[in-house]
Structure 1
Amino acid sequence: MDISLFLQQVVNGMSLGGMYALIAIGYTMVYGVLRLINFAHADVMMVGAFATLFLFSSVGLPFWVAIFLTLLLCGLSGMLIDRIAYRPLRHASKISILITAIGVSFFLENTFNVLFGGSTRYFEAPEFFNQTRDIGGVVITQVALIMPVITILLLLALLWLLYRTRYGMAIRAVAFDVNTVRLMGVDANRIISLVFALGSSLAALGGVFYAISYPTIDPLMGVLIGLKAFAAAVLGGIGSVTGAVLGGFILGFTEVVAVALFPELGGYKDAFAFLFLILVLLFRPVGIMGDERLERSRF
């Protein structure tokens, strides 16, 4: 493999990793606050892709307006899921909440299967995203350039929110000890709803960019992608926002570059991510940025 092709695959890997990272952030934030693996999270990504396609292709809204409305819709959907499915079970056993999360996932998948059919749909996006640039002999698409940049900018914005605002302080306090926060007069449920809204909006954005890069969508598209994003969150250190982004980039890079270096193993590309995760966790079970001494300290 020549150097230009290798660099091109690196950029593609970073683009895919950025998409994984956006979804992994939602997993890690919800776990940090509720110690809950929200299995419906990846299906919110699917909702984002379908909502954008509907608003852009069927309603005729400008693409950026469609994305903005999708983020609002999915943010509200995340809050609604928390309000209906999870809030009544705040004091229930963890297994009850886990089963509920799986049930919400099945509900979203089957609802969209009924509304849009189970067949694969072509995701129509503006030609701008498919335009290519030649940078030093490396030919890459606009979306491959945009995705990592947007991910890093959103990470910085999220870290600013968490460490420089009152809402961020409240989120970190709820993650540390929700009962003490309630005694201090803070509405913990409102803070948890904010976390669901942020995570769901980021997942929707990840779904939109995934659909742009691989322009087909279906109601089950979130299943495998969600597993990989969850693996990225665990790899980076679940409960750490920065770790989730780092894990996403590592996973995306590994998946793309490994197939580029060993094309005969292309049929096993989905296994590379989980094999890499197993190897890392064998030597560092808490993940790259996890710390057993800081188990209760999140984000």
Structure 2
Amino acid sequence: MSFETFMQQLANGISIGSLYALIAIGYTMVYGILRLINFAHGDIFMMAAYFMVFSMINFSLPWYIAIVLVIISTVILGVVIERIAYKPLRDAPRMSIMISAIGVSFFLENLATYLFTGVPKGFPDIPFLTQAANIGGISLSVATIVTPIITIILLLCVLFITNKTKIGMAMRAVSKDYETARLMGIKINRVISTTFVIGSALAAVGAVLWGAKYPSVMPLMGVMPGLKCFVAAVLGGIGNTTGAVIGGFILGMGEMMIVAFLPLLTGYRDAFAFIVLIIVLIVKPTGLLGEKVTDKV
């Protein structure tokens, strides 16, 4: 394998890892506050991709306006889901909330199939992202180059919000002790809604960048990325934002290295994520940056 081929696969691994990281942040933030694995998060990502298709193809909007509308629409969808499916179960057992999340996931997948059919739709071309760039003899799309940069910038924004702002302080308080935070006067509903706003916005950005690399949109497109991003969050330490990003990068680069060094196993690249999940749960269940958590009885 030539050096150029290796660097090409490495760049692709960093890029796809960045996409996993963007979506994994949404998983880990919701878990950090609600102790809930939001299984519908991958399907919110899928709906964002459909919003982009209809904004640019059906309504002929410029890509820069379409992206803003897609982010706003996805945020509204995420908040509506939280208010309808999760808020009424705030004091219910965790199993009830998890079953509700699975139900929302199936609902969104079937709703998309009913509204848009199961036939894949082409993702609209965003010239800025799809044009090629040559770096040292390696041909990369602009999307591959800018995706890690956007991911790091958004991670820093999330860290600033959670560590330096009043709402971020409330998020950390709720994450540490939900009941005490409520007794101290923190507006729990506002904190949770803000968490869903941030997670949904990141999923929307991830959907746009994903569509630039893999221009095919279908109702089940969020299932596998959603599961892999969940694995990335577990690998990094679910509940830890930085850990989720690190886990996403490790997962993406691991997949691409399998393709580069073991081409015969290319068809099994999706299995890599679940092998990693099993190993992490056996060796270090809290993940790379996770803290030991003891459930309250």
TM-score range, shorter chain: over 0.9
Q: Which amino acid aligns with 1:118?
A: G
Deviation sequence 1:45-99 (CA, Å, 0-9, x none): 0011000111011111111211111111111111111111101001111111111
Pairing 1:144-183 to 2, within 5 Å after superposition: 144-183=144-183
Q: Distance in 1 between matches of 2:54 and 2:285?
A: 42
Q: Give the superposition deviation at 1:269.
A: 0.9
Pairing 1:198-209 to 2, within 5 Å after superposition: 198-209=198-209
- Determine if contact 1:17/1:248 at 8 Å carries over to the other structure: yes
Pairing 1:210-229 to 2, within 5 Å after superposition: 210-229=210-229
TM-score (norm 2): 0.96
1:128 aligns with 128
Q: Which amino acid aligns with 1:261?
A: F
Distance 1:50 1:248, change over 3 A: same
SS at match of 2:139: strand
- Determine if contact 1:77/1:197 at 8 Å carries over to the other structure: no
Determine whether 1:42 maps to 2:42: yes
Deviation sequence 1:131-181 (CA, Å, 0-9, x none): 221111221110000111000000001101111111110111111112222
Pairing 1:1-299 to 2, within 5 Å after superposition: 1-292=1-292
Q: Give the superposition deviation at 1:201.
A: 1.2
Q: Distance in 1 between matches of 2:194 and 2:255?
A: 32
Q: Which amino acid aligns with 1:181?
A: A
- Determine if contact 1:109/1:219 at 8 Å carries over to the other structure: yes
Q: Distance in 1 between matches of 2:222 and 2:159?
A: 26
Q: Give the superposition deviation at 1:283.
A: 2.1
Q: Distance in 2 between matches of 1:291 and 1:84?
A: 31
Q: Distance in 2 between matches of 1:65 and 1:184?
A: 41
Q: Distance in 1 between matches of 2:285 and 2:230?
A: 15
SS at match of 1:52: helix
Gaps of 5+ in 2: none
Q: Which amino acid aligns with 2:138?
A: V
Q: Which amino acid aligns with 2:52?
A: T
Deviation sequence 1:30-54 (CA, Å, 0-9, x none): 0000000111111000011000111
Q: Give the superposition deviation at 1:284.
A: 1.6
TM-score (norm 1): 0.96
Report the identity percentage: 51
Q: Give the superposition deviation at 1:128.
A: 2.6
- Determine if contact 1:23/1:202 at 8 Å carries over to the other structure: yes
Q: Distance in 1 between matches of 2:74 and 2:131?
A: 28
Deviation sequence 1:248-293 (CA, Å, 0-9, x none): 011011111211111111111101122133233332221111121x
Q: Which amino acid aligns with 1:209?
A: L
Could you say what the CA RMSD is over the residues aligned between the two structures, in angstroms?
Answer: 1.3
Q: Distance in 2 between matches of 1:17 and 1:10?
A: 10
